[in-house]
């Protein structure tokens, strides 16, 4: 038999996390673009390897695929840190 308290917790968790919140993806997008703009200029060898076909190569430092993946990884780490730090549901 399933406890009714357990069902209440599961239901509130599902409605909390499954809601369509547009602020978190926007924060993640901004953090990734910021990381691509800043970190691509700080990598020692950003042009080693095949080039990433980005729409504005001069703006994004014409980075290679490994440098792009490194920037996106750092951007995701930064985005998760910002989202968890701001606790977006509390402020928006």
Domain range holding 36? 20-91
Q: Is residue 32 a contact partner of residue 83, using CB atoms and an 8 Å limit?
A: no
Number of domains into which the chain is organized: 1
Per-residue pLDDT of the chain (92 residues; tens, 9 = 90+): 556 666 555 555 544 454 557 888 999 999 999 999 999 899 898 889 998 888 887 888 889 999 999 999 999 999 999 988 887 556 55
What is the Cα–Cα distance from 18 to 35, expressed in whole angstroms? 27
In a domain, 28, yes or no: yes
In a domain, 1, yes or no: no
Cα 6–chain centre separation: 32
What is the Cα–Cα distance from 48 to 43, expressed in whole angstroms? 11
What is the Cα–Cα distance from 72 to 34, expressed in whole angstroms? 10
In a domain, 61, yes or no: yes
In a domain, 4, yes or no: no
């Amino acid at each position: 038999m399933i406890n009714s308290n357990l069902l209440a917790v599961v239901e509130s968790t599902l409605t909390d996390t499954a809601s369509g919140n547009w602020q978190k993806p926007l924060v993640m997008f901004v953090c990734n673009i910021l990381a691509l703009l800043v970190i691509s200029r700080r990598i020692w060898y950003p042009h080693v390897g095949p080039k990433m076909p980005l729409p504005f190569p001069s703006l994004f430092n014409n980075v290679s695929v490994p440098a792009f993946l490194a920037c996106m990884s750092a951007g995701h780490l930064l985005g998760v840190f910002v989202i968890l730090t701001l606790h977006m549901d509390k402020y928006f």
